[in-house]
Structure 1
Amino acid sequence: MTETALVWFRRDLRVRDNPVLAAAADADHLLPVYCFDPREYGTRAFGGAHSFRFEKTGSHRARFRRESVEALRESLSGRGSTLLVRHDRPETALADLAAAADVDRVWFQTLPAPEEVAVENRVTTALRDDGVAVHRRWTHTLYHPADLPTPYTAIDDTYTPFREAVEAKSTVRDPVAVPDLPPPPAELDSRGVAPGAIPSLRELDDDLTAPAPEDRAVHDFPGGEDAALDRLNAYVWAGDHLREYRETRNGMVGADYSSKLSPWLNEGCLSPRSVEREVRRYEDERVANDSTYWLLFELLWRDFFQFQFRKHGAAFFRPGGIRDRTDVDWRTDDERLRRVRAGETGIPFVDANVRELLATGYMPNRGRQNVASFVANDLRLDWRVGAAFFETHLVDYDPCSNYGNWAYVAGVGNDSRDRAFDVLEQARTYDPDARYVERWIPELAAVPPAYAHEPWRMDAAEQDSFGVELGVDYPEPMVRLDS
């Protein structure tokens, strides 16, 4: 009997090491599909207690996603297949396509965040109601949940014990080979099944526009699997930067102080197992040291939050987080939020990071921690609003990493220790010559490093001599952080 399978691509926009695609390719005919879900664009309610409204997906990630879908379509076409694209809710689009193409089975990636789980559950219900078999596969982490030392429901809520147990008892599975792809079902056109156009940014959301070119960006981040492999090769092999990763990973300016692989990992253009395999090859052929280990250490941090969201689900999105704290009075000061979002807090290190995010969709990891700490610990603004701001703008947004890290810094997540940062001390340590601040805050370009991180220390004469008047050219600080 001839069997037709449909593979629903989600955040696994690749053909290499894609267990979903490999499993679906055993069918006689294959129909690959990607859905631009309208619920992921535009202004939406956060939901739950003390909800607020925010923009779900900004221009930077939307641009990256469109390019990644386009690259996947080209890759599948080059292998004798195709990619149908729909701008519709997956539960509707997939059920319609399955009926039109006489699909027997649907395969897709399962993801841990509550919104993602809700969508796949609706898809599963719609398809099974029509008699279509549904198969889910876990593909988004370095370690498979079945290979953890304990079930994900019993993993430790603190990273170090989790890491030590995984490193001692678990093994990374081998990447899956690219399968030979069966042809699409015959006569799709006669069944009214068209390939479908990739929607423009404006079609996704009336407020989205193409991001303007930015010369100061650390990387262009082109979407797609080939671009991911190019970056992996450039960082690990051509540039030989992996050998110094641990020493340079907290840098602020430049393309190669860190791997910059996160956009491709989070949209699934690159699998973490492929990265791990490349690191192991590098260790065999060049050097194995603390830096090569540390990149794998960071991938395991990413796994930790994926499994934590699988374990705790929606509890991560409560004001009190998974610790259910009720002792913090989270504020919702609209003017303070406006100044944070505009990069006008008067704290240069914070503002520089926010301005880079707005201009490029990227922010250094060190900056993310400090902005989160400033919002949650210095201003005591609702940490979820800050995390939602990152969700809008980050080109490498992942729900588990983003909200997990914000909760961690805000003291409502996976560590009970005080995670507040001394922002000024951090600025002096990681931007000692104020090169990063001057790069993103041109108003302070003429201010010497001794004052660039604390311009409020300048008297009127010094302000005049450096051509910057606080409160006019650059804001007075929202709060004083003098240490």
Structure 2
Amino acid sequence: MITVVWFKRDLRVTDHAPLHDAARRGPVLPVYLFEPDLIAQADSSPRHLGFIQECLAELEARLAALGSPLQRWQGTAVEVLQALRDRLGPFRLSSHEETGNLASYARDRAVARWCREHGVEWQEWPSGGVVRRLHDRDAWSRLWMERMTPAPLAAPVALQPPPCPILSPLRLPPGGAPRHLAWHPDTLPDHPARQHGGRSHARQLLRHFFDQHLPDYRRGMSSPLSAGDACSRLSPYLAFGAVSVREIVHAVWRRRTELQAMPPDLRPRGELPGLKSFESRLHWHCHFIQKLESEPELECRDMHPAFAGLRDASFDANRLARWRRGETGFPLIDACMAMLRETGWINFRMRALLIAFSSYQLWQPWQKPALHLAREFLDYEPGIHYPQIQMQSGTTGINTLRIYNPVKQARDQDPDGRFVRRWLPALERLPDAWLFEPWKMPPELQRRQGLVIGRDYPEPLVDHEAAARHARDTLWRLRKEDAVRRESRAVYEKHGSRNPHREGTPRPRRPSPPTDSPQLGFDFG
């Protein structure tokens, strides 16, 4: 019987359990679906599709060399599967589990229903360290290690193709792009400054990170000036599966073994601490995806019910639009938006700053900003994105509030103003003394500098200090209520991180203080 291997966010042939299993069973038909309903979702973007197309080009070449080329299809998953059944007769379906948005979750439920109705066996394989139907969060760290310990699966030696060609109006030609797509109206176009897709780029980046940037990783990841070089930049390749988490974990372990075998005085300084930090983020990568896997509604619903609708009455379309356009009047916020718009990437600390500013200083509900950032982030990974957005917005009830001061962050992370001047040319000639608070510059000096606040650069949207006090007071007052504390314990039981060294010990009676632990995707890159 033919096995249809359905590629989703796993665009590779190495460490690919569905393909590995199908290759030993008989004929294999690899397929990738362009699903218009999913592409039209508000979190989808042309930059995502462009990156996917580049990953598919390498995947197609690899599968063709193995003997069974990838087929591209366009339509809903059920439409395509029905077309395949009409032409193939009975077949098996095999794919990785996917922790995606609510639309992909509904799609998978529809596929499962179709498979049951038509007697099609659909085998789903675990993806990374995410555990479907996890019953006890205390066991998750052990299960993650059990998933990561086996060696990554090798690519199949060869694939047996189906015995006859398959023709269908839903099938796209090799290398073909999807047709007649409808994007969300707020979607920005693709941009050539983003990273390019493909497994070869991921492998090259990993080698370069180990050889050149590992010693600088820990101290360089926070500043937008240094993070572009200090970080691995592997997150989009993980998000779309050009490389697996387990492959990178094993690369880290090999590198650590090599370093530990060296005499201590010959080890490159900073590499072992860098590896430790990097590995912890691979662990946190799966930890955050597990939250959405366990509660898919976190895409739109507050993790802690006491925070539901807290900011809804304060929604301000103008504030949101100015935040999106990078016209808040706070130079670091606006420079980050400019870089993100141009490249599809910004480092963790600045991502946290963007959503925190929207949530606390602007006091906006997190859902619409989350969708905007999802479209902008090339490395958008739903399972990381929505739990992280909620964590940075203060709606989890179990994480410390991090209300960033946008002026202090600018001085700390961009002390010479190089980042702001690069991305905000209007402020390029401003003296250092006024660069991060240009609204305080005297009118006469503004005229001499040729920059008038309110005309050439926006006035600040809010008094950021007063707004931060209001947000802090409101949220802490709510968090101190007994009913809110009780619900926080329930949230922690379901979603809270666990120290792996505490496995088997009694659970704490109240949520432990969280660590500021970024992970690949939302806050790593």
Q: TM-score range by the shorter chain?
A: 0.7 to 0.9
Q: Deviations over 1:194-246 (max 9, x none)?
A: 563555477434677863444xxxxx411111221121112223x2x123311
**TM-aligned CA distance change 1:166 to 1:131, over 3 Å:** closer
**TM-aligned CA distance change 1:482 to 1:84, over 3 Å:** same
- Distance in 2 between residues matched to 1:222 and 1:481, nearest whole Å: 37
- 1:6–1:103: 8 Å Cα contact kept in structure 2? no
Of residues 459-468 and 203-212 in structure 1, the stretch that sits farther from structure 2 once superposed is 203-212
Q: CA deviation at 1:18?
A: 1.0
- 2:38–2:104: 8 Å Cα contact kept in structure 1? no
Structure 2: give runs of 5+ residues left out of the alignment: 260-266, 467-525
Q: Which amino acid aligns with 2:58?
A: A
- 1:424–1:481: 8 Å Cα contact kept in structure 2? no
Structure 1: give runs of 5+ residues left out of the alignment: 45-54, 215-219
**TM-aligned CA distance change 1:209 to 1:84, over 3 Å:** farther
Aligned-residue identity in percent: 27
Indicate the residue corresponding to 1:328 in structure 2: 310
Q: Which amino acid aligns with 2:215?
A: R
* Number of residue-to-residue matches in the alignment: 451
Indicate the residue corresponding to 1:235 in structure 2: 209
Q: What secondary structure sits across from 2:24 in the alignment?
A: coil
Q: TM-score, normalised by structure 1?
A: 0.86
Q: CA deviation at 1:80?
A: 1.6
Indicate the residue corresponding to 2:116 in structure 1: 128
Q: Deviations over 1:97-121 (max 9, x none)?
A: 1331234211011123443332122
**TM-aligned CA distance change 1:59 to 1:136, over 3 Å:** same
Say whether residues 1:464 and 2:443 are aligned partners: no
Q: CA deviation at 1:276?
A: 0.9
Indicate the residue corresponding to 1:41 in structure 2: 39
Indicate the residue corresponding to 1:267 in structure 2: 240
- 1:86–1:197: 8 Å Cα contact kept in structure 2? no
- 2:74–2:171: 8 Å Cα contact kept in structure 1? no
Q: Which amino acid aligns with 1:120?
A: D
Say whether residues 1:196 and 2:173 are aligned partners: yes
Q: CA deviation at 1:299?
A: 1.2
Say whether residues 1:180 and 2:157 are aligned partners: yes
Say whether residues 1:301 and 2:278 are aligned partners: no
User: Following superposition of structure 1 onto structure 2, how do residues 429-468 of structure 1 map, counting pairs within 5 Å?
Assistant: 429-468=412-451
Q: Deviations over 1:149-201 (max 9, x none)?
A: xx733216xxxx976x6789885332111112322212215788956355547
Q: Which of 103, 112, 117 is 2:105 aligned to?
A: 117
- Distance in 1 between residues matched to 2:171 and 2:156, nearest whole Å: 24
User: Following superposition of structure 1 onto structure 2, how do residues 19-418 of structure 1 map, counting pairs within 5 Å?
Assistant: 19-42=17-40, 44=41, 55-113=42-100, 114-139=102-127, 141=128, 143=129, 145=131, 152-155=134-137, 172-189=149-166, 196-198=173-175, 200=177, 203-205=180-182, 211-214=190-193, 220-237=194-211, 239=212, 241-253=213-225, 255-286=228-259, 289-318=272-301, 320-326=302-308, 328-330=310-312, 331-413=314-396, 415-418=398-401
- 1:202–1:209: 8 Å Cα contact kept in structure 2? no
Q: What secondary structure sits across from 1:108 in the alignment?
A: strand
Q: Which amino acid aligns with 1:278?
A: A
Q: CA deviation at 1:424?
A: 1.8
- Distance in 1 between residues matched to 2:340 and 2:178, nearest whole Å: 19
- 1:315–1:322: 8 Å Cα contact kept in structure 2? no
**TM-aligned CA distance change 1:59 to 1:192, over 3 Å:** closer
Of residues 103-112 and 409-418 in structure 1, the stretch that sits farther from structure 2 once superposed is 409-418
Q: Which amino acid aligns with 2:190?
A: P
Q: Deviations over 1:365-409 (max 9, x none)?
A: 111100000001111111111111011121100111111111001
**TM-aligned CA distance change 1:374 to 1:201, over 3 Å:** farther
RMSD value, Cα: 2.6
Q: Which amino acid aligns with 1:329?
A: R
Q: Which amino acid aligns with 2:121?
A: A
- 2:9–2:240: 8 Å Cα contact kept in structure 1? yes
Q: CA deviation at 1:313?
A: 2.1
- Distance in 2 between residues matched to 1:212 and 1:22, nearest whole Å: 35
Q: Which amino acid aligns with 2:221?
A: R
Indicate the residue corresponding to 1:52 in structure 2: none
Q: What secondary structure sits across from 2:217 in the alignment?
A: helix
Q: Which amino acid aligns with 1:455?
A: P
- Distance in 2 between residues matched to 1:383 and 1:34, nearest whole Å: 32
Q: What secondary structure sits across from 1:373 in the alignment?
A: helix
